[in-house]
Amino acid sequence: MKLFSMRSIARYSLSIIFLLFFNSSFAQLAEAQAAQEPPKNWFLLDPQTDQFQGISIEKAYQTLLNGKPSKKVIVAVIDTGVDIEHEDLKGNIWTNTKEVAGNGIDDDKNGYVDDIHGWNFLGGKEGSLVNDHAEVTREYIRLKPLYEKESKSGKKDKEGLAYWEEVKAKYDRDSQANQKKLEEFQEQFNLYVNALYTITVCDSLIRQEVSATRITLTEINAFNATNDTLLMVKRTLQNIYQSLEPETELGEFLVELEIHVLALKEYVDDLGAAVKSYDLTYEPRKIVGDNPNNPTEKNYGNNDVSDPSKHGTHVAGIIAANRKNSIGANGVADNVMIMPIRVVPASGDERDKDVANGIIYAADNGARIINMSFGKYFSPHKDVVEKAIKYAEQKGVLLIHAAGNDGDDLDTKKHFPVPVYSNGKTAGNWLEVGASSWGEGKEFVADFSNYGKKTVDVFAPGTAIYATVPGNEYESLQGTSMATPVVSGVAAILFSYFPELTAAEVKDIISQSVRKFDGLQVNKPGSVDAIDFTQLSKTGGLVNAYEAIKMAELRSKKSGKK
């Protein structure tokens, strides 16, 4: 990227001032954001004790679970990969004791060689798939030659044609929108990079001339510019301070600006990958070496479950970050093993065959819970996923799925995978999760969350969720992807402390023990319209670990099993 020379500073100072004026100072912005952010563990807290609408799990550990025995529970995280060496996760990663590490032999004869800590269905002999097509792109590529040919021949397949038109419309709309967004943010990123470079040069030059270690507007105004270059530096910095508090320290401001630039670069990179997922010439699956057109194919991939992408590691940390090591973050569950199953690309959509194989792998290897923080709006091989869901149901595995982040009503719009079978029956081992916020009143529901009175089971905290990311780091992220592992963690606790419970019973307990908010009017996701919170899900409530544990205890006593 071309940066500016010292001679160009004056030319671009006006654009910098415009940029900073309309974005406020980053120091002030950071302070304002910090003042508005909840504590990092807010989602674990109790509304009465701590004044945050969390799941009350810390209260449960201090009271209901204090001194109680528990059993290890395996939770499969079907997602992007997981950093299994993370300081807060490495002691809580599942190990396949039937497999001998590194011997190149399928010791347990399950079709997966050296699957010591899980499996990667995006892997091949030479690495792993990182970015894939959006499902709508794959459908567009598949259907375009069929229906263009049909229209020319005059033949009519009304149902197929209607589906093709739906796919084409969404492909055109989404591909154009992503391209436009990329161009807009690329332009903004360029402006910020140039601003950062310009102010960095000015900061460096004035520090060579001023003895003070702390540079504020006072030092800049008092600075004696002895040549044209230094005069330009002084005037540029004075202009910049029109949008800053006079006591703002220039170096601190630069740090905030650099953080913002790095975050913006990450977002631009993500947008670039999103645009690539609509590229019709892109052939992402070659590295896997499978037949992508065979939805029933098995035994492909590799054993590399790690991944630099944040998503899977963050999800795993919400469930299982070590609660006893006094570092980083605390997960919801205290006696759990994470089984990483990699099927979700960093950008683009997961494939039905990978999802199905991932569910079966988890069920066959002892998972009691499968966390599925992913979803899409087309599922051309829904039948293979349906078979896997039925298989998991027969094995007593609870599936917990994210509702999605488009502010859609899932009663009228499908978000795959779905628990409804082709015969109209619904899987009894499925929980669909929407996202709540730490905000109060109308802002209690995350504005991005999908919802559905008939289709979404519960809501759980899904904004400003602090958890693990690769490289022994931690970050706050948001999405129904974050709300779902909160529920998976609660389910793991129930299975752990009450191992006699079935998947259907755990689902029932979580649903019946939700916290209700009678008469609470919230902003309807995706709009500014008001809606009663009870209308956004089947239960009309927020997951409550404390009450769920109380209910499980009561059932255990009545059954005489504990």
Higher pLDDT, 149 or 122: 122
- The share of the chain scoring above pLDDT 70, in percent, equals 92
pLDDT of residue 15: 45
Q: Cα–Cα distance between 312 and 324 in angstroms, integer?
A: 22
Q: Are strands 73-79 and 369-372 parallel, antiparallel or unpaired?
A: parallel
How sure is the predictor about 154, in pLDDT bands with cuts at 50, 70 and 90? low
Please provide the average confidence, as pLDDT, over all residues in the chain. 91
- Tokens 């809606």: give the residue: 531
How confident is the model over 48-56, as a mean pLDDT?
95
How sure is the predictor about 158, in pLDDT bands with cuts at 50, 70 and 90? confident
- Tokens 């230094």: give the residue: 230
How confident is the model over 104-120, as a mean pLDDT?
97
Q: Cα–Cα distance between 485 and 468 in angstroms, integer?
A: 13
Quick check: 484 and 457 in contact, CB under 8 A?
no
341: which DSSP letter? E
374: which DSSP letter? -
What contacts 249, CB < 8 A, 6 or more positions away? 214, 215, 216
The tens digit of pLDDT for each residue in 21-33 reads: 444 444 444 444 4
The tens digit of pLDDT for each residue in 538-562 reads: 999 999 999 999 999 998 887 776 5
pLDDT of residue 439: 85
Quick check: 120 and 304 in contact, CB under 8 A?
yes
The tens digit of pLDDT for each residue in 116-145 reads: 999 999 999 999 999 999 999 999 999 999
- The share of the chain scoring above pLDDT 90, in percent, equals 83
**For the chain, give me the number of helices (H) and strands (E)?**
15, 15
* Domain limits, the chain: 6-33+184-273, 70-132+294-559
The tens digit of pLDDT for each residue in 327-360 reads: 999 999 999 999 999 999 999 999 999 999 999 9
Q: Cα–Cα distance between 279 and 182 in angstroms, integer?
A: 14
pLDDT of residue 558: 79
Q: Cα–Cα distance between 38 and 463 in angstroms, integer?
A: 10
Least confident interval from 39-53, 97-111, 148-162: 148-162
How confident is the model over 261-284, as a mean pLDDT?
92
Instruction: Please give the radius of gyration of the chain, using alpha carbons only, rounded to the nearest integer.
Output: 26
Angstrom CA distances, 4 to 251, 261, 535, stand at 20, 16, 55
CATH for the stretch 70-132+294-559: 3.40.50.200
Residue by residue, DSSP assigns 144-191 as: HHHHHHHHHHT---HHHHHHHHHHHHHHHHHHHHHHHHHHHHHHHHHH
User: Does the predicted TM-score (pTM) go above 0.85?
Assistant: yes
Ranges of H-type helices in 345-479: 352-364, 382-394
Q: Are strands 123-124 and 336-342 parallel, antiparallel or unpaired?
A: unpaired
30, with CB counted inside 10 A (0-12, 13-18, 19+), is middle
Percentage helix, strand, coil for the chain under 3-state DSSP, each rounded to 5: 45, 15, 40
* In the predicted structure, residue 3 carries a pLDDT above the cut 80: no
Q: Cα–Cα distance between 343 and 374 in angstroms, integer?
A: 10
Q: Cα–Cα distance between 355 and 341 in angstroms, integer?
A: 9
How confident is the model over 362-383, as a mean pLDDT?
98
Q: Cα–Cα distance between 455 and 538 in angstroms, integer?
A: 7
The tens digit of pLDDT for each residue in 290-315 reads: 999 999 999 999 999 999 999 999 99
Least confident interval from 23-32, 65-74, 203-212, 266-275: 23-32
How sure is the predictor about 88, in pLDDT bands with cuts at 50, 70 and 90? very high
**Residue 509: in which H helix or E strand, if any?**
helix 503-512
* In the predicted structure, residue 112 carries a pLDDT above the cut 90: yes
Bond preceding residue 417 cis, omega within 30 of 0: yes
529, with CB counted inside 10 A (0-12, 13-18, 19+), is exposed
How sure is the predictor about 16, in pLDDT bands with cuts at 50, 70 and 90? very low
pLDDT of residue 556: 84
- Tokens 């790690």: give the residue: 306
| Tokens encoding 96 | 């396949």
How sure is the predictor about 263, in pLDDT bands with cuts at 50, 70 and 90? confident
How confident is the model over 474-503, as a mean pLDDT?
97
How confident is the model over 490-494, as a mean pLDDT?
98
Q: Cα–Cα distance between 371 and 186 in angstroms, integer?
A: 34
